[in-house]
């Protein structure tokens, strides 16, 4: 089935109403090309579609020669470049095109934010609008299924994840095969190709360690000791994995109270199917010892997708003290704090006394029975 993506309306509006270059980032296999085709096919434009994997376009689009590029794009009103990170100096060349042909609409996709951003950000300052496409979100599925249907499929989503291709398969061997191919063929490609890393086993081992520690604070020192590499190198690798849209971090919230922990981060996966593949564990939820951690990861990732797609800007944290008081997730918006405890079934009725004392009685318990309002609350 075709699942309408939340960004479709936003991208369409921006291409029609803005004169800026629209850039769409996202991990491989999240559906950037499909979404882009869906968007541009609905526009009344003469479209030039370019796959940057094809060498015949790379020479022209990396030439810095407007005359050459003009010959390529003449008579077209919309330029779509897929996998633009493969074009050397893509940013400066897009700048040349944009400055000389300001009425031409441009949509550009890239699977590697850290590489494409380095090539695009400085040359195109003030000339771009950027978005990130994630695996399918519950926000998007709500357009096609009712809440009860989705509630009954939570186990499936938490075990196999929500990459678009998975919705063609029934739970079981086909989904597991797809995820293993995704992890082996695509997951590390951007990190390995676009950095100095040559040993994929180190990245794989790091991801496995992170997969085992979701919902827990991560010690870079312990990771470094386990991997036999420096702490600085571990931090660099984690940053690259973030920029490749595999993981994300939450920092500890603190107003500089001495008893608050703020130096360590929690690290989560954008997709639990990828995480479970790394651990080779597709067991049902009823057999999972890591159910609580998976649920926390799932809820926070879905909340962050919703915020991104609706362009709601908040600061996200976790909170813990050295004495053990903790809050799983904290949002700060317009200077106001809201605290959330995330538990699959049973939830506490009272917030930690230390939190209430310093930050007020703004505490909410999120379970599988009431998380919908939290996910989609603006």
Q: Give per-residue pLDDT as tens, 122-145.
A: 788 889 999 999 999 999 999 999
Residues 155 and 79 in one domain: no
What is the number of domains present in the chain? 2
195-231 pLDDT, tens digit each: 777 777 899 999 999 999 999 999 999 999 999 999 9
- 255-262 contacts, C-beta under 8 A, 24 or more apart: 255/358, 255/359, 257/321, 257/358, 259/321, 259/322, 259/323, 259/354, 260/319, 260/320, 260/321, 260/322, 261/217, 261/320, 261/321, 261/322
pLDDT at 321 over 70: yes
Average pLDDT over residues 9-19: 96
Give SS3 for 268: strand
3-state helix, strand, coil in the chain (%, to 5): 45, 20, 35
Q: For position 284, what pLDDT does the model report?
A: 95
pLDDT at 66 over 80: yes
pLDDT band at 190 (very low <50, low <70, confident <90, very high): confident
Alpha helices in 161-199, H assignment, sequence order: 173-185, 189-193
**Which residues constitute the domain of residue 187?**
138-315
Residues 143 and 88 in one domain: no
Give the CATH number of the domain where residue 261 resides.
1.10.10.10
Residues 128 and 147 in one domain: no
Q: For position 187, what pLDDT does the model report?
A: 77
69-107 pLDDT, tens digit each: 999 999 999 999 999 988 999 999 999 999 999 999 999
Residues 303 and 156 in one domain: yes
pLDDT band at 117 (very low <50, low <70, confident <90, very high): confident
Which segments within the chain are labelled E, that is strand? Answer: 21-26, 47-51, 78-82, 105-110, 128-133, 217-218, 247-252, 265-269, 315-320, 326-333, 336-342, 363-366
Q: For position 2, what pLDDT does the model report?
A: 86
Residues 200 and 265 in one domain: yes
Give the global pTM: 0.94
Give SS3 for 217: strand
Residues 306 and 164 in one domain: yes
Q: For position 258, what pLDDT does the model report?
A: 67
The fraction of the chain above a pLDDT of 90, given in percent, is: 75
Q: For position 222, what pLDDT does the model report?
A: 96
pLDDT at 352 over 70: yes
């Amino acid at each position: 089935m075709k699942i309408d993506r939340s960004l479709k309306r936003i991208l369409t509006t921006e291409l029609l109403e803005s004169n800026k270059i629209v850039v769409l980032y996202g991990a491989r296999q999240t559906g950037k090309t499909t979404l882009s085709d869906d968007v541009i096919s609905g526009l009344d434009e003469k479209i030039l579609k370019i796959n940057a994997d094809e060498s015949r376009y790379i020479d022209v689009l990396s030439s810095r020669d407007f005359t050459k590029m003009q010959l390529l794009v003449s008579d077209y009103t919309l330029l779509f470049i897929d996998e633009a990170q493969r074009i050397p100096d893509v940013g400066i060349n897009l700048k040349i095109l944009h400055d000389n042909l300001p009425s031409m609409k441009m949509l550009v996709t890239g699977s590697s934010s850290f590489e494409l951003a380095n090539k695009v950000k400085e040359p195109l300052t003030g000339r771009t609008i950027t978005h990130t496409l994630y695996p399918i979100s519950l926000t998007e599925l709500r357009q096609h299924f009712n809440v009860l249907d989705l509630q009954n499929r939570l186990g499936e989503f938490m075990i196999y994840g929500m990459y678009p291709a998975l919705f063609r398969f029934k739970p079981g061997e086909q989904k597991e095969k797809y995820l293993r191919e995704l992890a082996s063929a695509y997951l590390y490609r951007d990190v390995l190709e676009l950095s100095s890393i040559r040993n994929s086993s180190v990245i794989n081992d790091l991801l496995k360690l992170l997969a085992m520690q979701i919902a827990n604070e991560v010690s870079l020192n312990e990771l470094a000791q386990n991997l036999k590499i420096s702490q600085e190198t571990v931090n660099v690798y984690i940053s690259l994995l973030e920029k490749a849209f595999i993981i994300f971090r939450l920092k500890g919230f603190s107003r500089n109270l001495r008893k608050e922990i703020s130096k360590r981060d929690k690290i989560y996966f954008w997709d639990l199917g990828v995480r479970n593949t790394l651990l080779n564990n597709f067991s049902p939820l009823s057999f999972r010892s890591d159910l609580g951690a998976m649920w926390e990861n799932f809820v926070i990732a879905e909340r962050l997708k919703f915020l991104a797609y609706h362009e709601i800007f908040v600061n996200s944290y976790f909170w813990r003290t050295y004495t053990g008081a903790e809050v799983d997730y904290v949002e700060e918006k317009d200077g106001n704090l809201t605290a959330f405890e995330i538990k699959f079934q049973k939830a506490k009725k009272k917030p930690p006394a230390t939190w209430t004392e310093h930050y007020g009685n703004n505490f909410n318990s999120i379970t599988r029975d009431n998380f919908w309002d939290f996910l989609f609350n603006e």
